[in-house]
Amino acid sequence: MNRRKVLSRVLLCAVLPACVVGGTLLFREQAAVWVTLCAAVLSVLPFFLTFERKEKSTRTLLLLAALTALSVAGRVLFGMLPFFKPVTAFVIIAGVAFGGEAGFLTGSLSAVLSNFYFGQGPWTPFQMLAWGIIGLLAGVFAKGLKKSRLLLYGFGALSGVLFSLLVDVWTALWTGISYVAALLSALPVTAVYAVSNVVFLLVLARPVGEMLERVKTKYGL
């Protein structure tokens, strides 16, 4: 792993979580906008650390922008169904197709952009972190997820659990209840997250994944 890749992973796995949790603990609601902005910048930097300034990299960026737009539109479209959204599916697809940094970028930006519709707040950085980490892990385990549909669907279900584990850190910090209590109270929501991820991957993974592979092959991405 080269130095740029190592630095990008340090930013995503250490610096960004420290920024999100530390900013929430230190500044509470007054600094929510600044913590969100900081999280957005730190989400973008790792992708551009590995970004090659070539025509094929520009095409990759355009594809990620399209996937992020679909993710945001899907979350808005299914807004009437609480916790049943296609965001995680698109984030996983992005991570599998283009790597962990691209998956993190897609997940993080999906959260902050869709919250212009659903409402920004101190929860936004934690949603950015949660969906970003899911995208990063999808990139890390991309080889296995491409080979096995069952593994992909299982990863989608586990991603619903991981999303709750990360976002409920905010719940515990903000409400003052214990982290375990927050997790237990969120079990029905977590179950919906897990099921919805599997459903959307069943519908989207094959057609979107195959389309992305054709584009990657055509343009040498």
CB 81 within 8 A of CB 193: no
Structure tokens at 52: 């090659």
Across the chain, mean pLDDT equals 88
Of 55, 69, 110, 97, nearest to 211 by C-alpha is 97
CB 107 within 8 A of CB 85: no
CA separation for the pair 100, 106 (Å, rounded): 10
Q: What is the pLDDT of residues 194-206, one digit of tens each?
A: 999 999 999 999 9
CA separation for the pair 74, 160 (Å, rounded): 17
pTM above 0.85, yes or no: yes
Strands (E), the chain: none
CATH 3.40.50.300 given to domain 3-219: no
Q: What is the pLDDT of residues 25-75, one digit of tens each?
A: 777 666 678 888 888 888 888 877 766 555 556 788 889 999 999 999 999
CA 90 to chain centre: 9
pLDDT at residue 15 tops 60: yes
Domain ranges in the chain are 3-219
